Amino acid sequence: MSYDENESRFLLKIGQRIRILRETHNMTQEQLSFKCGLHRTYISSVERGERNIALINLQKIVSALQVSLAHFFTDLADEESETNEQEMENPSGE
């Protein structure tokens, strides 16, 4: 399935957030995959924004990273708000 630009950007942000949290915990993709019961290649593709991750799998990942879903999305929403504010301040992208 292909995604439009906004959907692709959202999936990439989800993946980047997972990667940041994983690296903060000094975990490899393999260690995270073992801890949450998902395959390492699945974790890798999620981090690259290539997968539309199921909520149950996201719950497994954030649980393995010892973060609540609320915290995961709050920080993601904060980043989105900052991006939207910057785009509104400079709509031409300069």
> Per-domain residue ranges for the chain?
5-89
Q: Any idea which fold 5-89 has?
A: 434 Repressor (Amino-terminal Domain) (1.10.260)
How many helices, marked H, and strands, marked E, lie in the chain? 5, 0
d(CA 29, CA 19): 9
1 in Cβ contact with 25 (< 8 Å)? no
- The continuous run of DSSP H or E covering 1 comes out as none
Helix locations, 25-68, DSSP H: 29-36, 40-47, 55-64
Q: pLDDT per residue over 24-62, tens digit each?
A: 999 999 999 999 999 999 999 999 999 999 999 999 999
pLDDT score, position 85: 59
Residue 94 pLDDT greater than 60, yes or no: no
